[in-house]
Amino acid sequence: MPELHQVGEIVRSRYCITDILGQGGMGITYAAIDEQTGDRVAIKALSFRRINDWKVLELFEREARVLAQLDHPAIPCYLDYFQVDSELDRDFYIVQQLVEGRSLAQAIAEGWHGSEEDILQITKQILEVLIYLHELKPPVIHRDIKPQNIILQANRKIALVDFGAVQDTYRSTQLAGSTVVGTYGYMPPEQFRGKAVPATDLYALGATVLFLLTGRSPADLPEIRFKINFRDAVNISPLFADWLDRAIEPAIEDRFSSARQALKFLTNETNDMSSSLASSL
């Protein structure tokens, strides 16, 4: 996709583009300086002329609408949504706080190998965000949890980004025939059928944890009866492996029923692990 803006260009007489952060089917994301405040921001831009499917614009507008409602320290703050008309095009923009750090995918590519404790802490943080999203009224389902969309900051805190695939469950009920969105390797079976429930995000989180443990896409790991067979590929405690086993169950009813339940299981695990270690000393 050709770039909409060049470094140094100013959008809407306010945002000075400083870098390109990434691009995909949902537009191009830039780093910029808000010249009114001096803050660094992230701007996602979508060109109407380059849209091949009306669904893309619908998802973009839904992302802006949902982001405007969210208030969580691990989700970058929503700042603005606007459009700019030109003679030949109409461009749409979402502006958010820019989170400093690197994605988990980038961290792995650059040689980061987290310990089991590191990965446990990341997992718990993501579950806290999912508890917040899934317990909203109506629940918000991210639908694209993956290493590229989780930013690891210098203070070891995470941020969940890119809500381009987001849906709220009320609207999902009305759009039963919606286009499949998500990322291969991180999508459970129901998502391929266009269905998403809160447990869909839990599967994607489990797949993300597998990537952190193995450095490989979950799609590249062996399967037995449609379930990822990971135990020979990881070296983790049996308790963490049991949690992961349940998170990536292909059948929704066999997975954790909620992020809160998944976090409780994981918290009990780590408490049991600490007790076991203490008793062995």
44 known member of a binding site: yes
Contact between 98 and 76 under an 8 Å Cβ cutoff? The reply is yes
233 Cβ partners below 8 Å, 6+ apart? 210, 213, 214, 216, 221
Considering the candidates 34, 89, 91, 144, report the single residue annotated as catalytic.
Answer: 144
Q: How far apart are CA 13 and CA 62, in angstroms?
A: 25
CB of 247 closer than 8 Å to CB of 209: yes
Cα torsion angle, 153, 159, 160, 164, sign: negative
Say if residues 79 and 64 touch (Cβ distance below 8 Å).
no
Is the distance from CB of 195 to CB of 92 less than 8 angstroms?
A: no
**Locus of tokens 């695990």:** 269
Task: Determine the Cα–Cα distance for residues 151 and 38; give it in Å rounded to an integer.
Answer: 22
Using alpha carbons only, how large is the chain's radius of gyration in Å?
Answer: 20
Contact between 28 and 60 under an 8 Å Cβ cutoff? The reply is no
**Which residue do the tokens 């000393």 mark?**
281
Residues 45/32, Cβ–Cβ less than 8 Å:
no
**Could you confirm whether 242 is annotated as catalytic?**
no
Q: How far is CA 245 from CA 199, 242, 267, in A?
A: 14, 5, 16
The residues annotated with a catalytic role in the active site are: 144
Binding positions for ATP are 44
